[in-house]
A and B are shown apart, each in its own frame.
Chain A
Amino acid sequence: MTTTAPALFTPAGPDASVPRWSSRVLTADDRSEVLALFTEPDFYYRTERPGTRPEWEILKLLGDDTRLLLADGRLAGLFAVEALGLPHICHYQLHLRLHAAAPLAWWISTYQEVVRATRWRHEVIRLAMRFAKFDERGLQFARAAGLTNEGTLAGVMVHAGRHCGQVFFAQTWEPSS
């Protein structure tokens, strides 16, 4: 099986050291720490207005598929892999967000780990991600990771009083049959 996306960027050099990643399900004890992530104005995890979301809405955004991303055991972000359509289509959407202090190398590294984990027990033909046009960190990651830019859906959200687009990215693999 071969990937049709460009080879992924591999962090290198002393500034690109990455932590040991792990993940787990949220518990009630994690709530305050997770809510604190959403106080960052650009923590765009399933919302384009994280800083003003109330607790009930954040809990709804998290759903039951969100997993904590732990860097050397400490909370560094959130992710969820969501099936788009029926499972046999093998098309998934990834929601991934790291806290503001995480360097680009962490984004790349955790993305690679998520891909490996997602393809471990399921066939994945397309893994999609979406970032708002104003999401600089998200767009920087998607380009650095070599994800395929599939286009922009214009005017689907409002930011700072103006309509903005959403950029669609994906990595694809050849179907097994």
Chain B
Amino acid sequence: MMLRGYRSSDSRLLSGPWLDGELAGLPLACWPALAERSAVPPPSGPDEELCIASGVGFVRYTELDWVHRRARVETGLQPGHADAAGPLLQAAVAYGLADLNLHKLHGWVTPATGVAATAPDLAGFRLEASVPDGIWLDGRAVERQLWAVIRPD
């Protein structure tokens, strides 16, 4: 999957029915009709890197730490493109570790979304920690997990 730079014409890809900050931001079918969609701001400075998979979604590298060469990764996929989660994360890992020269990428996975963690797994991420009651979702606090991939230097 090809990643490219953000253009203002891509703005519709920056919001959707996924849990914000999620590593595999898959569209959730159970999203309440009147709930605000999650959204990320368009990139506006060197503090983050945001790439677009045309018509499919985005990859966002945030909390960038160039000294320790690490970042948090989140993605967002548009409805109808859930099957692109694996390829998108693989492209995100390749770009983050090779082109951005980062050493470690991490991200959040929320099992309660019902979205299996297969996509992060396929992209080389490993479960690092479980955070009980880590996020509020659908009327209750639910577990959130930290997944990470480390560059084999």
Instruction: Judge whether A95 is part of the interface by a CB distance below 8 angstroms.
Output: no
Min Cβ gap B85→A in Å is 21
Instruction: Judge whether A119 is part of the interface by a CB distance below 8 angstroms.
Output: yes
A123→B32 contact, CB < 8 A: no
Instruction: Judge whether A23 is part of the interface by a CB distance below 8 angstroms.
Output: yes
Most buried by B among A21, A69, A113, A116: A116
With a CB–CB cut-off of 8 A, which chain B residues contact A69? 34
B140→A67 contact, CB < 8 A: no
- Size of the B side of the interface (Cβ < 8 Å), in residues, is 12
The total number of A-B Cβ pairs within 8 Å is 43
B136→A121 contact, CB < 8 A: yes
B34→A117 contact, CB < 8 A: yes
Min Cβ gap A144→B in Å is 20
- Size of the A side of the interface (Cβ < 8 Å), in residues, is 21
With a CB–CB cut-off of 8 A, which chain A residues contact B132? none
Contact of A117 among B32, B137, B140 (CB under 8 A): B32
A162 to B32, CA, bound (A): 42
With a CB–CB cut-off of 8 A, which chain A residues contact B136? 121-123
Known contacts A23-B33, A117-B33: does B140 contact A176 (CB below 8 Å)? yes
With a CB–CB cut-off of 8 A, which chain B residues contact A123? 136, 141
Instruction: Judge whether A159 is part of the interface by a CB distance below 8 angstroms.
Output: no
B139→A23 contact, CB < 8 A: no
Instruction: Judge whether A101 is part of the interface by a CB distance below 8 angstroms.
Output: no
With a CB–CB cut-off of 8 A, which chain A residues contact B140? 1, 176
A121→B35 contact, CB < 8 A: yes
Instruction: Judge whether B83 is part of the interface by a CB distance below 8 angstroms.
Output: no
With a CB–CB cut-off of 8 A, which chain B residues contact A121? 35, 136-137
Instruction: Judge whether A20 is part of the interface by a CB distance below 8 angstroms.
Output: yes
With a CB–CB cut-off of 8 A, which chain A residues contact B137? 120-121
With a CB–CB cut-off of 8 A, which chain A residues contact B34? 21-23, 67, 69, 79, 110, 113-114, 116-117
A120→B138 contact, CB < 8 A: yes
With a CB–CB cut-off of 8 A, which chain A residues contact B139? 1, 119-120, 173
Contact of B141 among A114, A118, A176 (CB under 8 A): A176
Min Cβ gap A9→B in Å is 19
Most buried by A among B33, B34, B141: B34
With a CB–CB cut-off of 8 A, which chain B residues contact A110? 34
A79 to B139, CA, bound (A): 20
Most buried by A among B33, B36, B137, B138: B33
A67 to B139, CA, bound (A): 21
A119 to B137, CA, bound (A): 8
1/0 contact string of A147-177 vs chain B (CB within 8 Å)? 0000000000000000000000000010010
Q: Which 4 A-B pairs have the closest CB atoms?
A: A117-B35, A117-B34, A117-B32, A116-B32
Contact surface of B with A, Cβ cutoff 8 Å? 31-36, 136-141
22 pairs, CB–CB < 8 Å, chain A vs chain B: A1-B139, A1-B140, A21-B33, A22-B33, A22-B34, A23-B34, A67-B34, A69-B34, A110-B34, A113-B32, A113-B33, A116-B35, A117-B32, A117-B34, A120-B32, A120-B35, A121-B35, A121-B136, A122-B136, A123-B136, A123-B141, A173-B139
